[in-house]
Amino acid sequence: MIELKNISKSFDKTNAVKNISFSVLKDETLVLLGTSGCGKTTTLKMINRLIKADSGDIFINGENIKKINEEKLRLGIGYVLQNHGLLPHYTIEQNIAIVPNLLRWGKDKTDSRMEEMLHKLHLPLNLKDKYPNQLSGGQQQRVGLARALMAKPPILLMDEPFGALDPITKESIKKEFLTLDELQNKAIVMVTHDIQEAFELGDRICLMSNGEMIQIGKPTELLEKPRNGLVKDFFRGQKLQLSLKAIEVKNLSPFLEPSADRYDDAISIDHQSVWDILEILAEKPFCRLEINGELKKATNGSLMEAIEKFKATKNGTTE
């Protein structure tokens, strides 16, 4: 879907991005992770040509973006900025309607899609007439996401989308991010410097340092098979928590004991990590999980045993 080949970019004497290559599939989230100034945002902005690469090529569905009209290119790519990027003198309705207006949608189509998006992002309809500064930070960020998704772009670029939020709002928006149907089947590239966030949201992580790509792979690959000392150092001190966040609990299903009785308190499992379930188990000795229609029982101990068994399988080493 998206392919970067040997991309480099310098600003005066700063080599911001050095010979980066990667691809993103149509239904995955690739997280660009790294410390401040390592070239993440520059890489992201080269994909929608807000910044032009000095050398190398970027392809979208096999087509070189240099050959695509800039406006057409950007209309097919949703873009969510840190601090939402809403225009302060536009109402929420006007902000959300920017792309539909460029696409010359009629008012009825725009209104009904806007209502659908506000509903899906748990925003009350009466926000439409307000201005961005009359909304909370979490609401502004949701509006930013609604705006980016209005025209159902197959590609979504997100630059530190949750960076400015308080921890509680951040958690609730991240949970929505994982379950929102509008985000399925999209190629998503997300920039963050937050390691935990990268492990929670990324299907793959591209770790960058000083303009270079140090390693790219599934979260557990970076943890279990770090390419060099730099990668190891990056995760030092957080390895246990990160690996628990990287393993989806549904993968442990074959190794968990069945629960004989059906109770209403079973937690329905989709994308929860082992870490999410351990947080629940901090409050009680066991819980029931409903995974693909099967009822399982989990305790701290049984989850740890299941992880060991899972890691011994082929899937566990590459997941």
What residue ranges bind ligand ATP (CB under 6 A)?
11, 14, 16, 34, 36-42, 193
Query: Smallest gap, in angstroms, from Cβ of residue 203 to ligand ATP?
Result: 20
Query: What gap in Å lies between CA 58 and CA 44, rounded to an integer?
Result: 11
- Residue 93 or 194: the one with the smaller Cβ distance to ligand ATP is 194
Torsion of the alpha carbons at 140, 142, 148 and 154, rounded to the nearest 10: 160
- Residue 32 or 148: the one with the smaller Cβ distance to ligand ATP is 32
- Residue 36 or 133: the one with the smaller Cβ distance to ligand ATP is 36
Query: Smallest gap, in angstroms, from Cβ of residue 20 to ligand ATP?
Result: 11
What are phi and psi for residue 205, nearest 5 degrees?
-125, 135
Query: Smallest gap, in angstroms, from Cβ of residue 9 to ligand ATP?
Result: 8
DSSP 266-279: PEEPSS-BHHHHHH
Query: What gap in Å lies between CA 236 and CA 279, rounded to an integer?
Result: 22
Pull the structure tokens for residue 160. Answer: 């530190």
Query: Smallest gap, in angstroms, from Cβ of residue 11 to ligand ATP?
Result: 3
Neighbours of 165 (CB within 10 A): 18
- Residue 29 or 259: the one with the smaller Cβ distance to ligand ATP is 29
- Residue 36 or 126: the one with the smaller Cβ distance to ligand ATP is 36
Query: What gap in Å lies between CA 69 and CA 211, rounded to an integer?
Result: 28
Query: Smallest gap, in angstroms, from Cβ of residue 231 to ligand ATP?
Result: 17
Query: What gap in Å lies between CA 172 and CA 138, rounded to an integer?
Result: 9
Query: Smallest gap, in angstroms, from Cβ of residue 139 to ligand ATP?
Result: 24
Q: CA dist 112 to 99, 122, 152, Å?
A: 14, 15, 14
| CA 208 from centre of chain | 17
- Residue 41 or 259: the one with the smaller Cβ distance to ligand ATP is 41
Helices (H) and strands (E) in the chain, counts: 14, 13
- Residue 127 or 195: the one with the smaller Cβ distance to ligand ATP is 195
Query: Smallest gap, in angstroms, from Cβ of residue 116 to ligand ATP?
Result: 32
Query: What gap in Å lies between CA 219 and CA 205, rounded to an integer?
Result: 6
